[in-house]
Amino acid sequence: MEAYKRWVRRNRDYVHSMESLANGLTWLLPERFSESEIGPEAVTSFFGVITAINEHIIETTPTQRVPAQAEPSSFPYSLCITLIKDLETLVEVAAQQFYGDDRKWNFIAVTEAIKVLVRLAMFRNSGYKMLLHGGESVNSDKGSNVSIEKPGPFGKAGNLNGPVNSRYYNNHIPWNLEGRALSALNRFGENARMVSDPSWLNRVRHHHAMVEPATVMDEIEKPSLSNFLSEKGIPGGLFVMGEVMFIIRPLVYVLLIRKYGTRSWFPWFTSMIVDLVGNSLLSYVTMMRNSAKAPLFHLSKDEKDELKRRKLLWALYIMRDPFFAKYTRSRLDRTQKLLEPVPFVGFLAEKIIELLVGAQTRYTYMSGS
């Protein structure tokens, strides 16, 4: 196992390229969206699990700059969430084939409940910081959720965004060649990263942030919920409520579908309301100011991008039943007929629409959880 870890860490670029190629080729497997989809999904899940494990190996690469005893030892919540997400589609497909369309929602609900528990534990363990990419990326920002009241050594009390720390967070210049390449890639793909930034890139950036000089990386004690609420007051409670609503929304949606069915509008509207209210609470508290006209909650760039990403996920509502069956499907069919006479474009549109329609039949592809 140690030999495999060393090989992955030495050839991380090659590993990432092969993983991307393998995951892309799984879409070309036969009977991708047929009734007997367990085989292709098992292959997809296998590659997903291998990818997640490799990412975790790269993330935990030892370094001479950080003593072994200084490295934090905690449960790998992000790896756990990634593994669950890699396996959840296989669970859905197997449950549907062996137990039918109605009873498969029992297994999906169990999967979502496990994700809720892990995410809540991660939210608490992080000191009530915003979850990034549903918990698949670690929120390593040290200045999150800290109010500004008094001047401190870095400009403001509790604010690590002063002139010294800005080198490591705002205008971060990594110390090695790979870090500089990642920084250049990050600047090049700034807009696209909000939607499709791969989790391995976030984890590698997180790893490099962790191995910077320790002068400004002193461990900050994680507050308990009571301490957090007493410090933040009502805005802190609204922040926690908004984040918890984001975490539990998929489970609420699945439980309502399990009871009312996919043709009912009640689960669809309820899920949207939970999304809107939770996101509105987070947006509201992050815009609040204290007596010194300073923000109560300091959002890092990753956290601001996360709020934008969550809003972009609302587009998935048009791909969920009953909205899809009533409106989206007819629009896709008309688009396909319109583009069908056009050489190559018609063929490409047909394949894209075929993939969209096939993916829509799977809850896990359109859940946004």
Q: What angle do CA 31, 91, 102 make, to 5 degrees?
A: 90
Which residue(s) pair with 132 in the sheet? 137
- Nearest C-alpha neighbor of 232 from the set 147, 304, 150, 298: 147
Kindly state the DSSP code that residue 297 receives in the 8-state scheme: S
What's the confidence (pLDDT) of residue 288? Answer: 82
CA distances for 66 relative to 61, 111, 179, angstroms: 11, 37, 16
How would DSSP label each residue in 146-179?
----S--TTSBTTB--STTGGGTTTS---SSHHH
| Distance between CA atoms of residues 193 and 12, nearest Å | 20
User: What are the residue ranges of helices labelled H in the chain?
Assistant: 2-10, 12-25, 38-59, 77-125, 177-188, 190-196, 199-210, 225-232, 234-260, 265-286, 301-312, 323, 329-339, 345-360, 363-366
> Three-state DSSP class for 132?
strand
Kindly state the DSSP code that residue 340 receives in the 8-state scheme: T
The secondary element (H helix, E strand) that includes residue 145 is none
List the chain pLDDT tens, one digit each, 369 residues. Answer: 778 777 777 777 767 777 677 767 666 665 555 556 677 777 777 777 887 777 777 777 776 444 433 334 478 899 899 999 989 989 999 999 899 999 999 999 999 999 999 999 999 999 899 999 999 888 877 655 544 333 343 333 333 344 334 333 344 444 444 444 444 444 444 444 444 445 545 555 555 555 444 434 444 567 888 888 888 888 899 999 999 999 999 999 999 999 999 999 999 999 999 999 999 999 999 888 766 677 777 888 999 999 999 999 999 999 999 999 999 999 999 999 999 999 999 999 999 999 899 889 999 999 988
How large is the greatest C-alpha to C-alpha distance in the chain, in angstroms? 68
| Distance between CA atoms of residues 289 and 296, nearest Å | 6
How would DSSP label each residue in 171-214?
S---SSHHHHHHHHHHHHTHHHHHHH--HHHHHHHHHHHHTS-G
CA distances for 206 relative to 55, 129, 140, 145, angstroms: 12, 15, 7, 18
Which residue(s) pair with 295 in the sheet? 289
List phi, psi (to 5°) of 50: -60, -40
Share of the chain above pLDDT 70, in %: 69
Check: CB of residue 134 under 8 Å from CB of residue 197: no
Place of tokens 């030999």: 3
Tokens of 170: 């705002």
Check: CB of residue 148 under 8 Å from CB of residue 157: yes
Please report, for the chain, the start and end positions of each structural domain, with discontinuous segments joined by +.
Answer: 2-145+221-366
| Distance between CA atoms of residues 58 and 11, nearest Å | 10
Tokens of 162: 């002063």
Q: Global pTM?
A: 0.72
Check: CB of residue 366 under 8 Å from CB of residue 320: yes
145: left (phi > 0), else alpha (psi -120 to 50), else beta? left
Kindly state the DSSP code that residue 261 receives in the 8-state scheme: -
